[in-house]
Amino acid sequence: MVELRSDTFTLPTESMRKAMAIAEVGDDVWDEDPTIHRLQDRAAEMVGMEASLFVPSGTMGNLCALLSHARAGDEVIVEIDSHIFQNEVAGAAVVGGLQLRPLDSESGRLQPEQVLGAIREPDIHEPRSALLCLENTHNRKGGTCLSPNQTAALCAVAHQAGLKVHLDGARVFNAAVAQRVDVRELTAPVDSVMFCLSKGLSAPVGSMLAGSVDFIERARRMRKMVGGGMRQAGVLAAAGLCALTEMVDRLTEDHANARRLAEGLQGLSGINVDIGRVETNMVFGECRPPVTARHFIDRCRTVGVLLDQASAYRWRMVTHRGVTSEDVDYAVGAIRRLFVEPSTAALRATG
């Protein structure tokens, strides 16, 4: 099978497994795990922040950030297709009593004037605008990137109005590698950033939340509240250290494979591939009726290619360390054969 559903399917490397087996550990809830300390110091340094915190998941990291930056009754400005708004089970509202205000964008890149127009003037009838959340890369908009200049411009508008800025940077290293910039150029303007150690970096589990010392102290309390305090977590942190040391530079391979995949699927009858947004390791496409995404995905599975459904007619493929260029070539060939008679007739008949 060619696994293109998500980069969350990456498996830990042999060096990660060895590091986990011999990791020096302690109780992290008591802040006494030395491997956790090394990981947190390394992560903070890499993104140019004072401190960082290891959390079990990116969703928890984002939630802890929102709870630390804002208080119940506040409003948080987000992009309408952001992970925080679409895929985190309304945690900000349920746990934090926060109102999310979604703004639409063409490619996941909010504009400074949009944000400025959404920031509320002080009024006892309205919630207080407290936080702006950005996403880089932007998942649902195709793995698109915010540039350092775009990030800085958005942060300037927010900061001038007294808002904090949190970056959901689950794949921010993909954004940095794709733009050939130091990741700190993408994180310098924001007040906090979350990034995943899993996904393209291939660690088995875990994410990092980084910011100022005071912010991380608040976030540590929030992590405990939502059940994220772990004990001998250094076993997991050891893999995270390997991820940050060994896995960042190789993301270029994933980006090249995504481009190879998108180009190989161009021109097929019945599907459109959004090649203009293939900036990192994601390829999105859309089926034309009567073929639905579900039917297309089911047919691809029969030839050993796994992909994800994004909507009724839209699908997603994600490249990662477990997908080679040979796998990409196989997937392209297999999918193209689905659109050669009589397979096309069979595919359309299922629609």
Has this prediction a pTM greater than 0.85?
A: yes
What is the per-residue pLDDT for 14? 98
Q: Which long-range contacts (CB under 8 A, 24 or more apart) does 31-35 make?
A: 33/232, 33/233, 33/234, 33/237, 34/234, 35/234, 35/235, 35/237, 35/238, 35/241
pLDDT reading at 192 higher than 60: yes
- Count CB atoms within 10 A of the CB of residue 342: 8
CA distance 85 to 294: 24
Give the confidence band of 183 by pLDDT, cuts at 50, 70, 90. very high
Report, as an integer, the average pLDDT of 334-345: 70
Backbone phi and psi for residue 185, each to the nearest 5 degrees, phi listed first: -70, -25
pLDDT reading at 94 higher than 50: yes
pLDDT averaged over the chain?
96
Give the confidence band of 339 by pLDDT, cuts at 50, 70, 90. confident
CA distance 233 to 35: 8
**218-251 burial: b if 16+ Cβ within 10 Å, else e:** bbbebbeebebbbebbbbbbbbbbbbbeebbeeb
Token pair 């909507």: residue: 311
Give the confidence band of 269 by pLDDT, cuts at 50, 70, 90. confident
**% pLDDT > 70, the chain:** 97
What is the per-residue pLDDT for 85? 98
Q: Which residue has the higher pLDDT, 284 or 342?
A: 284
What are the chain's domains? 8-246 (3.40.640.10), 251-350 (3.90.1150.10)
Give the confidence band of 144 by pLDDT, cuts at 50, 70, 90. very high
Taking the CA atoms of 141, 143, 149 and 152 in sequence, report the sign of the dihedral they define. Answer: positive
Distance, first Cα to last Cα, the chain? 24
Give the confidence band of 44 by pLDDT, cuts at 50, 70, 90. very high
pLDDT reading at 231 higher than 70: yes
**% pLDDT > 90, the chain:** 94
pLDDT digits (tens, 9 = 90+) for 240-265: 999 999 999 999 999 999 999 999 99
Give the confidence band of 116 by pLDDT, cuts at 50, 70, 90. very high
Report, as an integer, the average pLDDT of 196-224: 98
Report, as an integer, the average pLDDT of 83-107: 98
Alpha-helical regions (H) of the chain: 14-21, 34-46, 58-69, 83-86, 91-96, 112-118, 148-160, 172-179, 183-187, 213-225, 234-246, 251-264, 293-302, 325-338, 343-350
Residue 284 CA: distances (Å) to CA of 7, 62, 174, 246, 310: 14, 25, 17, 28, 8
CA distance 136 to 178: 11
Token pair 């956790």: residue: 36
Give the confidence band of 128 by pLDDT, cuts at 50, 70, 90. very high
Angle separating helix axes 14-21 and 234-246, nearest 10 degrees = 150
Residue 95 CA: distances (Å) to CA of 67, 225, 229, 275: 8, 10, 17, 38
- Rounded to 5 degrees, what angle do the CA atoms 106, 107, 110 make? 80
CA distance 235 to 14: 14
- Choose among 274, 346, 350, 347: nearest CA to 317: 274
- Count CB atoms within 10 A of the CB of residue 115: 23
Report, as an integer, the average pLDDT of 107-111: 97
What is the per-residue pLDDT for 343? 44
What is the per-residue pLDDT for 332? 97
pLDDT reading at 309 higher than 50: yes
Give the confidence band of 349 by pLDDT, cuts at 50, 70, 90. very low
Give the confidence band of 270 by pLDDT, cuts at 50, 70, 90. confident
321 near 201, Cβ under 8 Å?
A: no
CA distance 39 to 55: 12
Report, as an integer, the average pLDDT of 36-51: 98
Query: Is 146 exposed, middle or buried (CB count within 10 Å of its CB: 0-12, 13-18, 19+)?
Result: buried
CA distance 198 to 179: 21
Give the confidence band of 341 by pLDDT, cuts at 50, 70, 90. very low
